[in-house]
Structure 1
């Protein structure tokens, strides 16, 4: 029996090279779908490019509260119109230095930009740098969708790290996500879990073994996140991990990856399944 696993590429819309690489992999059947960053100036163009793929791929919203341009301009969240770094975000939110209403306004704007451009709601929601696990974002999810008959699926927490080489990173994300799966399921959301695909992107050569491990062990309908892309000037200016993106694209598009799926009795889940 063939085991189905989800492969979701983050950061669609971050730069033309990222969007193009993701669409290429969707067309090859190497991705279940992608998650979109909608707050950037090129979103309308990126949305037009992905629109023809919406019937064959899972297209979701990648909530973004760090490092990029704020869709809502200046606020307590983005005093100069740019979202803070992750380290600067979590602690001030907990101390109340950022008005939660400004966070919710930013998330509302990103969600509305998605639905307006793609004429419908996202299939799933997750977060850039896992910000959807933050308390303020959990509150937004519950407020925005709690009473809705149709709720988007949510990306859940990673499994226990065990002896994984990225154990410390996995444990940190799991700590941030504590209680998320159970709380969101109680509220009626479908939660995609366990999350896999976590590795040290400063060592892109580790991606291939991380992917092989997921193909061999990820349970039915488990979720593997990835970040493929092609380098361009916009990506270089916006993203410090651009060196890993070409490596991820090369691995995902390779014959070796297809062979590893066959050997493990696995397949990339269809985006509309």
Structure 2
């Protein structure tokens, strides 16, 4: 069953986006399994990841009309040399103290876009950020400057982290994290992006603290689908076991099992959600 076209044509159109492709082989294998079932419409790639280049060779064979492939801008986990790996907290301190080298930052963004284009043979359809760094002070300005310079026509869309409305039946930690991510720079990024004609998704679903069992993740997915509005992105982080250390490995396994299960298809139908690439949603606004 093709879940991308099976639901009510009047229901909300949502893009299911997998983050962290290329970080390790377990994530890549999970992505390709979900792609075979047409459960994924966007893949965010980390060009500094250990399995990016081999994964890109397979990823580029997918029809760009059916799958958005974007750059998952990474300044913490595995940025490209000469930028060193750093914690998210350290990066936050540097951007809010304005101590990050703006020239080096633009060079890093350009280098990651170069690596993407070299491997994929085309520009990214969108750009977002690992740990949402693309919206932070300094980084959002550098990113938009690079995008305006490199892609004056048909620029990539940018991920908005605008949070959905709070829900009484959703745990407070999940609501709090979603709101904090939004407050860390979404409004400023969206205002600047709009001024230069860069499109964005409506809201970001899928934010949680990576805790809990399969039942708690199922409840979250049900809420996100029931609350979905046209043009939302549903972010996910599925993965299979890997020899590499991964701080959210357990959550990745839970997410993969949920997205792979026939139950997920039934949840989509119940919520009347249609899964489509965001580029197609943005090209045909309601």
Scaled by the length of structure 1, the TM-score of the pair is 0.90
Match of 1:110 in 2: 112
The question of 1:245 aligning with 2:255 is answered no
Considering only aligned residues, what root-mean-square deviation do their CA atoms show, in Å?
Answer: 1.7
Do the aligned partners of 2:213 and 2:254 also contact (CA within 8 Å) in 1? yes
1:224 matches 2:234: yes
Q: 5+ unaligned residues in a row in structure 2: which ranges? A: 1-9, 281-286
> What SS does the corresponding residue of 1:223 show, helix, strand or coil?
strand
User: Pick from 15, 21, 25: which aligns with 1:16?
Assistant: 25
Deviation at 1:36, TM superposition (A): 0.3
| Cα shift readout 1:198-256 (whole Å, capped 9, x = no counterpart) | 1120224332222111211211121110000101112xx2x201110011011001111
**Deviates further, 124-133 or 159-168:** 159-168
SS in 2 for 1:192: coil
Contact 1:72 1:109 in 2 (8 A): no
Q: CA deviation at 1:272?
A: 6.2
Match of 1:97 in 2: 99
Secondary structure in 1 matching 2:187 = coil
Partner of 2:34: 25
How far apart are the structure 2 equivalents of 1:3 and 1:212?
14
**3-state SS, counterpart of residue 139 of structure 1:** helix
Which residue in the other structure is 1:233 paired with? 243
SS in structure 1 opposite 2:61?
helix
> Match for residue 162 of structure 2?
158
- 1:208 corresponds, among 218, 225, 230, to 218
In structure 2, the residue corresponding to 1:53 is in which secondary structure? coil
For the 8 Å contact 1:40–1:71, the answer to whether it is kept is: no
Mapping of 1:42-81 within 5 angstroms?
42-55=51-64, 56-68=66-78, 70-73=79-82, 75=83, 78=84
- Write out per-residue CA displacement over residues 57-93 of structure 1, whole angstroms, 9 at most, x where no aligned residue: 111110001132x3123x5xx2xxxx21100111123
Note if 1:174 corresponds to 2:182. Answer: yes
Whether contact under 8 Å (1:64, 1:131) holds in the other structure is: yes
Give distance in 2, aligned partners of 1:168 and 1:264: 24
Aligned to 1:137: 139
**d(CA) in 1 for partners of 2:90 and 2:147?**
28
Give the structure-2-normalised TM-score: 0.86
Contact 2:16 2:234 in 1 (8 A): yes
Shift of 1:184: 0.9
With 111-120 and 49-58 compared, the bigger mean Cα shift is at: 49-58
Deviation of the 1:136 alpha carbon: 2.0
Contact 1:93 1:100 in 2 (8 A): no
Q: Secondary structure at the match of 2:86?
A: coil
Runs of 4+ in 1 over 3 A off after TM superposition: none
| TM-fit CA distance, 1:41 | 3.6
Q: Residues of 2 paired with 1:211 and 1:109: CA distance?
A: 35
| Matched positions, count | 262
CA distance in 2, matches of 1:20, 1:67: 20
1:23 Cα deviation from its structure 2 partner? 1.5
Q: Deviations over 1:20-52 (max 9, x none)?
A: 101111220111121000012432111112111
Choose 172-181 or 120-129, whichever is displaced more. 172-181
Alignment gaps of 5+ in structure 1: none
Change (3 A) 1:184 1:248: same
Contact between 2:15 and 2:275, CA under 8 Å: does it hold in 1? yes
Deviation of the 1:196 alpha carbon: 0.6
